[in-house]
């Protein structure tokens, strides 16, 4: 599985947040085809203002016998919380894919 981490609008994300997100998604590596591609995109919608404006997108392309693609997103007050919520959605989508 290949994981790409990106940001929107020149946003600087601390390395520990990038590693946190990658590790959360890597937990599913054994359940997905080797040729899978997952993109994690961080976005701070309001810039330095506080609030529920930290959005994380997850785009996945899973290839096995046929292609299965999906886009998930979650917004929270901080990126770790958004990643945690996104991980739960990702797990449900993988179960859907396995069926």
Distance of CA 3 to the CA centre of its chain: 9
Helix (H) or strand (E) holding 69: strand 67-76
Rounded Cα gap, residues 67 and 19, in angstroms: 27
How high is the mean pLDDT of the chain? 87
- What is d(CA 80, CA 40) in angstroms, rounded to the nearest whole number? 13
Residue 49 DSSP code: S
C-alpha closest to that of 9 among 37, 45, 35, 63: 45
Q: Is 9 left (phi over 0), alpha (psi -120 to 50) or beta?
A: left
pLDDT given at position 21? 95
State residue 75's pLDDT score.
92
| Domain layout of the chain by residue ranges | 2-98
* pTM recorded for the entire structure: 0.85
For residues 31 and 51, the model is more confident at: 31
- CATH tag, 2-98: 3.30.160.100
pLDDT digits (tens, 9 = 90+) for 6-37: 998 888 899 999 999 999 999 988 888 888 89
């Amino acid at each position: 599985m290949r994981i790409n981490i990106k940001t929107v609008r020149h946003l600087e994300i601390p390395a520990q947040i990038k590693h946190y997100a990658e590790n959360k998604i890597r937990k599913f590596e054994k359940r997905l085809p080797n040729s899978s591609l997952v993109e994690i995109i961080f976005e701070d919608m309001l810039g330095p203002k506080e609030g529920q404006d930290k959005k994380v997108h997850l785009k996945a392309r899973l290839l096995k016998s046929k292609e299965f693609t999906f886009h998930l997103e979650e917004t929270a007050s901080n990126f770790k919380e958004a990643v945690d919520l996104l991980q739960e959605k990702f797990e449900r989508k993988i179960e859907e894919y396995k069926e």
